[in-house]
Amino acid sequence: MNDATASPAPAAGTADGGLPGPLVSADWLAARLGEGAGTVLFDASVGAHRGAALRIPGARPFDLDGDLSDHTSAVPHTMPGAPQFTEAMRALGVHDTDTVVVYDAQGIYSSARAWWMLRAMGFDRVAVLDGGLPAWTAAGHPAEPVAAAYDGPRGDFTARPRPGLLVDADTVAAALADPAAAVLDARTRERYAGTAPEPRPGLRGGHMPGSASLPFGELQRDGGLMRPADELRTAFAAAAGERERLYFSCGSGVTACVLALGATLAGYGGLAVYDGSWSEWGMPSDRPVATGAGAAGGSGSP
């Protein structure tokens, strides 16, 4: 998938499934879950937050550290191919006619990656829970102990990949030279500048020359809720100027998807996520690296 302007393939689940948009509130989700069948809820937490003590009742694991990454890749969190993704979704009981909501235990962190992956595989009936598990419990909704695994019936999900939503290093290199495109980096300001070490060993510090810094935390408020659309648009305009074709990078392709979510909420089109992100670009190679301050400040991302 390497053309950010390619026409999407026909999608499974193309209707909105009753979703108000790519973001839903805790109260909306509680009401939806009370309506019965047809809604699949995924916990897409990663790292230390995966397998947290509590989950939203009935949530199934969307394991970005496991079956939902391609472990033959040299970099973490690489998108699996369509056959692997189809099998994973079917094993998790997802049907093409379902509506999917994803959340994570940190707020909005890795849940946006699950949302973008489903869209990249041609499934549009998906949204992110605004504020994630913290917002759910803060609203007084119930939680339950995390189950070890999903053991329900299989689904009939079929992946229909869309070219261009996830792109490779060569596509990003071309975007960096394109005056109509902007490459935005979701990592911390310090990692972008090369003044803080990378958490993954062996990577060079700094950023892609010509990219701009927009840490994903700058798009959030009140403990993980996304900012209003007008504030999001202002943040993107500050980093990207008048450019409307946007490419997103981070440490391993996870929080770059928070930028993709924010840009979608702000009304942008023509969006793409660099799947390898800094885990690939930052490897020792002849790909150029720059250091120094970027276009915007902010908070952290791996």
Which residue in the list 46, 121, 159, 250 is annotated as catalytic?
250
Max intra-chain CA distance, the chain: 55
- 144-145 vs 245-249, strand pairing mode: unpaired
Tokens standing for residue 117: 């992956």
Tell me if residue 250 is catalytic: yes
Tokens standing for residue 168: 């490779």
Q: How far apart are the C-alpha atoms of 270 and 276, rounded to whole Å? A: 19
Q: How far apart are the C-alpha atoms of 98 and 78, rounded to whole Å? A: 25
Given a contact cutoff of 8 angstroms between Cβ atoms, the answer to whether 172 and 287 are in contact is no
Q: How far apart are the C-alpha atoms of 213 and 269, rounded to whole Å? A: 20
Q: At what angle do helices 229-240 and 256-265 cross, to 10 degrees?
A: 120
Task: Dihedral sign for Cα 135, 138, 142, 144, please.
Answer: positive
- 181-185 vs 245-249, strand pairing mode: parallel
Q: At what angle do helices 256-265 and 111-120 cross, to 10 degrees?
A: 70
Q: Annotated active-site positions, please?
A: 250
